[in-house]
Structure 1
Amino acid sequence: MFHFKQFSVDQSGCAMKINTDGVLLGAITQADDPKTILDIGTGTGVIALMLAQKFANAKIDAVEIDEPAAKTAGRNFQNSIFYNRLNIHFSSIRDFLDEHTENKYDLIISNPPFYINSLESPKEKKSLAKHSEVNFFDELAKDVSFYLADKGFCWLVLPLDTAALVTTLMAKNDMHLQREISIHSYPHSAAHRVVLCFGFKDVAPEMSKLTIYKAVGIYSEEYQRLLQPYFLAF
């Protein structure tokens, strides 16, 4: 059980536990008072819960293809003060969207599987959560373009090489990069992740960086400030 300031997350039954990628994405994501949010691959539901805390007027559809994880996320939602604004859907994103073709979302978010063409994990569930092929992101880009509201945003967290691919695929679907935040472990280390924001407006993207640690075992002030609304330690 992982306790946050306004909710708790039970991780049992989830192949992918709460990690820095997910909480960073949830904390960094910005939008203009979104009313509808889609969380693709919700896992434990932690990002959906963070967004429910951040955006008080939003109703959130959280989709998860792994049944035990979906059940865990559903329990986490029901046990939170945001339960009436959170909906868990045990489904592939393709099946869910095919059944809800009328939906438009002000915000789409995902911490997706991103190890393209890497070796498969010996554990089936972790393989499902962490491995993907290019066609997954090709379909994701098409879906975002179709289901995102005209003034909406899509936020993703990805490794650098996958981010370049996804940016290209998004551009083919008239989605433009709005913001790019490179994530560094230490001030002088190379970026190991990137948070991307896409939208329909063709603009020069805003580029920035975020450093997690200022020294070994010591979180940076910017990381603490970002996670302060959520983490008990901050």
Structure 2
Amino acid sequence: MASIFQFKEFAVDQSDCAMKINTDGVLLASLVDVGSSARILDIGTGTGVIALMLAQRCLDSEIAAVEVDSLAAKRAEMNFNSSPYAERMKLHACSFQNLDDIGLFDFIISNPPFYTDSLHNPDARKKLARHTNLEFFNELLQFSAASLQQQGRLALILPTLLAEELGVIAQSFGLNLLEVIQIRSFEGEDIIRKIVIFQQGFGGDVAISDFIIYQAKGVYSDMYRATLKPYFLAF
């Protein structure tokens, strides 16, 4: 994969990043409704692509990002600084657990590591980027609950079973499920990912929708093309 991924408004240099730009990240950044969020936090920003896509979408938002991998953090900061949104973006090279008090956020977003039951990758940096356990998610949910404004929201992209398990855990921290976007490769196939959005204090009906990536083998669906058109040169 080329080290530079060129978007319509910005470029992302992926060198030094264990996790490259992927479908999960770009769908998460483009599908979630961030509303009029003034302050957004991207946890585990990696290349910085999610934060950059949100900066393009949210012209009045201040965006912070955290990344524990020092090499990826440096690269993400370079990507931020070379973008048109540099003045609104801030990189914190640390884990969210060690993040200094920087105030409350309206929206927290993360494409987290979620291979909780897989054999760990022997590459230490890829292991850091891809593998985790439920203790991590407990800490993530607890941190988010404490760091969100009243009625603030948390958005994650996860495998189906993990999304369901975390829905129960999130409630214990006062984060209730607001919306679920079910992602499928093809119409009628099993769900491969869920985007789950939690909100502080929400207690209403959960909005559920489907998102289909392909209409045929190697052919993106109209909804995929429309969703990524503001970002991808190919569309």
TM range (shorter): over 0.9
1:219 aligns with 2:233: no
Q: Distance in 1 between matches of 2:154 and 2:32?
A: 9
**1:107 match: secondary structure:** strand
The range that moved more, 62-71 or 109-118, is 109-118
- 2:125 is aligned to 125
Q: Distance in 2 between matches of 1:78 and 1:220?
A: 33
Q: Distance in 1 between matches of 2:130 and 2:168?
A: 21
**1:16 match: secondary structure:** coil
Q: Distance in 1 between matches of 2:95 and 2:154?
A: 18
- 1:159 is aligned to 159
Question: Which stretches in structure 1 are left out of the alignment for 5+ residues?
Answer: none
Structure 1, residues 140-187: CA drift from partner, whole Å, max 9, x if none?
Answer: 111111111112211110011111121111111111111001100011
Residue 29 of structure 1, CA deviation: 1.4
Give the TM-score normalised by structure 1: 0.97
**2:198 match: secondary structure:** strand
- 2:41 is aligned to 38
**1:9 match: secondary structure:** strand
- 1:86 is aligned to 89
Q: Distance in 2 between matches of 1:32 and 1:182?
A: 20
Structure 1, residues 189-228: CA drift from partner, whole Å, max 9, x if none?
Answer: 1111000110021111001110000000100001111111
- 1:193 is aligned to 193
Q: Distance in 1 between matches of 2:49 and 2:194?
A: 19
- 2:62 is aligned to 59
Q: Distance in 2 between matches of 1:110 and 1:5?
A: 23
1:202 aligns with 2:208: no
The alignment of Structure 1 onto Structure 2 pairs a total of residues equal to 231
Q: Distance in 2 between matches of 1:140 and 1:39?
A: 12
Residue 188 of structure 1, CA deviation: 2.1
2:212 maps to a residue whose letter is T
Residue 54 of structure 1, CA deviation: 0.5
1:160 maps to a residue whose letter is T
- 1:137 is aligned to 137
Identity between Structure 1 and Structure 2 (%): 43
1:115 aligns with 2:115: yes
**2:109 match: secondary structure:** strand
Q: Distance in 2 between matches of 1:47 and 1:183?
A: 18
Pairwise CA RMSD = 0.8
Structure 1, residues 30-79: CA drift from partner, whole Å, max 9, x if none?
Answer: 12211101100000000000000000111111000000100100000010
Q: Distance in 2 between matches of 1:94 and 1:176?
A: 22
Question: Which stretches in structure 2 are left out of the alignment for 5+ residues?
Answer: none
1:19 aligns with 2:51: no
The range that moved more, 149-158 or 209-218, is 149-158
1:147 aligns with 2:147: yes
Q: Distance in 1 between matches of 2:165 and 2:138?
A: 9
Q: Distance in 2 between matches of 1:32 and 1:23?
A: 18
Residue 117 of structure 1, CA deviation: 2.9
Q: Distance in 1 between matches of 2:16 and 2:89?
A: 19
**1:152 match: secondary structure:** strand
2:93 maps to a residue whose letter is F
